[in-house]
Chain A
Amino acid sequence: MTHLITRRAALALTGSAIAAGSAGAQGIPTQPAPALNLPIERGATLRMLRPVRFVQPDEEVFRANCARFAQANGVEVRVDFVGWEDITQQTAVTANTGAGPDLIIGFNEAPHIYADKLVELTDVAGYVGTKYGGWKAMAQRYGKRAGSEAWLGLPFGASGGPLVWRKSTVNAAGFERPPEDHAGFLRLCQALKAAGKPAGFALGNAVGDGNGFAQWLVWSFGGYLVDENNEVAINSRETIAALEYLKELYATFIPGTIAWGDISNNRAYSAGECHLTANGVSLYFSLKNDAAMRAIADDTEHSLLPKGLAATSPMAGLTLNAMVFKHSRFPNASKALLAFLLETEQYDPWLQANLGYWSQPLNAYSNSAVWNSDPKVSVFKGVMDTTFYAGYKGPISQASAAANADYVMVQMCASVASGQATPQQAAAEAERRARRFFRSRR
């Protein structure tokens, strides 16, 4: 999808955007911050890539925001919306050929992989961070180069997959809400199984849900794939404890979860066959927007994944991460655009348009009206408060992304759950595979 925003188009869009902007600007606290000094290059034109929308208003508001930047600064801004599967490849091509878009909003680790091809964004991050109450823990992790204060990317939001559960079923099982400790959570799942309304978490090759569950399991027991020095550390006492726990937990699941893809738990939950799972907010909205499913939606609650032994809920969302390429002839205009998009007048309406699909990276936006629009989505405002991230707890790298995409941790869990391997064998196999991804090169 291509959309060219010219000044003329911008004028047409301004009306609704300004209305939305002024409405959204309320209630976001700001701190004084020294203004950015980014003189915009003469005759600048910008081209940006970003992933396609979850919901239609996302795209509309985003375009309106860019149009206002175009109008205010006399800069032509073109935004291309790219399919989620394609953005990684297009980022790779852009970085390697040194041609194409000036800036890309990619996913997760992308700025860290192409660090040497990017313009540092420390000044923008500093300004926005100071003004809007500081960056959240996860945003700092994805934004900054590991072990330094230099910002390579500007996180724009993250989408997480907390627990989704049927309130009536959980209450009938004797629990007010899913417990935060492992033993309690297991008791809940056993009670649900006994009631014939079981829990279910994807253990198949499901990029989002499978990794989300496997990461939660290992992290909540204190395990991790690699340590701070990027040494593979998955074969640990903590991991084995997690896998021992999984054996008991898996026995309570609805049958078939080892074959589950990303969509399977949505279907099983919507059909009323599964009463506790983990998913993004999309599941709730699909129920809420379907009159036939309204009863299930009304009975649905969200809560963060159980902490287990961890201090914060072990959950790594999918993060939007913006980057500016060195090959851009208009780095100042690019940076100014990103700063502009993160300001209240633009960011808050955009956040609201997304209904909770994306959660803010800056503390001040926790006060956004979106989190009061429906009490059932308010839990998503904390998605970026977690200290966990894909590849925890090593530096964010291509290796950790590849280990994720190759389902190293998911398959470790699935092989134990299915009885194909003992926890020790599974952890050793995961270690063997992970070492390959994390081997030093050259």
Chain B
Amino acid sequence: MSATTAAPVWTKMRPKQGALSRLFDWKPFLAFVCLLPAVGLLMTFLTYPLGLGIWLAFTDTTIGREGIWVGLENFIWLMDDPIFWSAVFYSVFYTGVATIGKFALGLWLALLLNQHVPFKSMLRAIILLPWIVPTVLSAIAFWWIYDPQFSIISYVLVDALGWRDTNVDFINTAWPARWSLIAANIWRGIPFVAITLLAGLQTIPPSLYEAALLDGASGWQRFRHITFPMLLPILAIVMTFSIIFTFTDFQLVYAITRGGPVNSTHLLATLAFQRGIQGGQLGEGAAIAVSMIPFLVFATLFSYYGLARRKWQQGEGND
């Protein structure tokens, strides 16, 4: 039938490929095209805002008025600004102390949870709570806990137990306020550290501990020579994240003290917001934000290379 007569058509040579289809068959081009959406997203939502932020830092833009290029004027002003240096100091101090606290307590908690305890999974879920709760909620809770008049801690100590005559000064003077915020940050950060380190602990083969036991190693020796070195790679990653999150913290400080009393608890992020958005000095706020970048790069490099200079990072086997 007609099908048989049509058959020769199918045996014909394939028509020559058009230029377009040959282009799309060319691997490098195809890879480029497939990457475009991702590149577009990154350019729009990452590179552009970052670039704009850096550009703003070199202008005197305010809310409601376009700025002009002022070169390093914003940075020169900040160099002489004691409030900026106080924010730099507190950002570093806050990050340092809070990170040490979070890791000490988080590691301890992870080791405890790694033991065989009853209701293990429920305990683990409860431990995660501070981290699951939206930061601003826990910040508001701490805001009440630290309130000069209505603090629950003051209430217990003064009215219920009668141990004190006056309310506890949590956030009314500089140093108590700084420590109070660090305590809140540690409380919030412990679960993240504990759970990730717990995951790391569980990847350590039990056979190593058994061998160590046979060799008569003490508990400390087992921690020092097995747990700690095996945990170091994940520790480095978790610490990098933790430092970045802590250094760029905003919500806790903004909700509890707004940078007060008298600017003593401003972090660079809150100061940038205060100057840039509240104060309307967009250029100066951007300059403060940009000045965080070197600190973050340094902190990242330090914890990544300083803590975990291991062969597997270079793509080789782990001994």
Question: B32 within 8 Å of A by Cβ?
Answer: no
B280 near A402: Cβ-Cβ < 8 Å: yes
B279 near A405: Cβ-Cβ < 8 Å: yes
Residues of A contacting B: mostly: helix
Contacts of B64 in A (CB 8 A): 91-92, 95-96, 113-114, 398
Question: A174 within 8 Å of B by Cβ?
Answer: no
Q: Which of B273-315 contact A (CB under 8 A)?
A: 274-275, 278-281
Residue of A nearest to B70 (CB): A441
Question: A438 within 8 Å of B by Cβ?
Answer: no
B172 near A255: Cβ-Cβ < 8 Å: yes
Interchain CA distance A442-B61 in the complex, whole Å: 12
A259 near B261: Cβ-Cβ < 8 Å: yes
Interface centre among A204, A256, A268 (most CB of B within 10 A): A256
> Nearest Cβ distance between residue B282 and chain A, in whole angstroms?
11
Q: Which of B145-188 contact A (CB under 8 A)?
A: 146-150, 166-167, 169-174, 177
Interchain CA distance A264-B151 in the complex, whole Å: 12
Residue of B nearest to A411 (CB): B262
B177 near A259: Cβ-Cβ < 8 Å: yes
B63 near A92: Cβ-Cβ < 8 Å: yes
Interchain CA distance A271-B170 in the complex, whole Å: 20
Counting residue pairs across A and B whose Cβ atoms lie within 8 Å, the total is 94
Known: A255-B167, A259-B177. A205 touches B148 (CB 8 A): no
Contact pick for A254, options B149, B173, B174, CB 8 Å: B149
Question: A415 within 8 Å of B by Cβ?
Answer: yes
Question: A158 within 8 Å of B by Cβ?
Answer: no
Question: A74 within 8 Å of B by Cβ?
Answer: no
> Nearest Cβ distance between residue A110 and chain B, in whole angstroms?
9
Contacts of B251 in A (CB 8 A): none
Q: Which of B17-25, B120-128, B252-260 faces chain A?
A: B252-260
Contacts of B148 in A (CB 8 A): 254-257, 259-260, 264
Question: A414 within 8 Å of B by Cβ?
Answer: yes
Interchain CA distance A264-B143 in the complex, whole Å: 11
A258 near B167: Cβ-Cβ < 8 Å: no
Contacts of B280 in A (CB 8 A): 398, 401-402, 405
Question: A273 within 8 Å of B by Cβ?
Answer: yes
* Proximity string of chain B (56-69) to chain A, C-beta cutoff 8 Å, 1 when within and 0 when not: 00001011111010
Residue of A nearest to B281 (CB): A402
> Nearest Cβ distance between residue B166 and chain A, in whole angstroms?
7
A442 near B68: Cβ-Cβ < 8 Å: yes
B258 near A204: Cβ-Cβ < 8 Å: yes
Known: A95-B64, A402-B62. A415 touches B149 (CB 8 A): no
Contacts of A405 in B (CB 8 A): 278-280
Question: B119 within 8 Å of A by Cβ?
Answer: no
Question: B45 within 8 Å of A by Cβ?
Answer: no
Interchain CA distance A113-B171 in the complex, whole Å: 36
Interchain CA distance A441-B61 in the complex, whole Å: 11
Contacts of A411 in B (CB 8 A): 262-263
Question: B77 within 8 Å of A by Cβ?
Answer: yes
Contact pick for B174, options A89, A92, A255, A420, CB 8 Å: A420
A256 near B260: Cβ-Cβ < 8 Å: no
Contacts of B60 in A (CB 8 A): 441
Known: A256-B148, A256-B167, A256-B169. A205 touches B62 (CB 8 A): no
Contacts of A402 in B (CB 8 A): 62, 279-281
Q: Which residues of A contact B (CB under 8 A)?
A: 88-89, 91-92, 95-96, 113-114, 204-205, 254-261, 264, 267-268, 271, 273, 398, 401-402, 405-406, 411, 414-415, 418, 420, 429, 436-437, 441-442
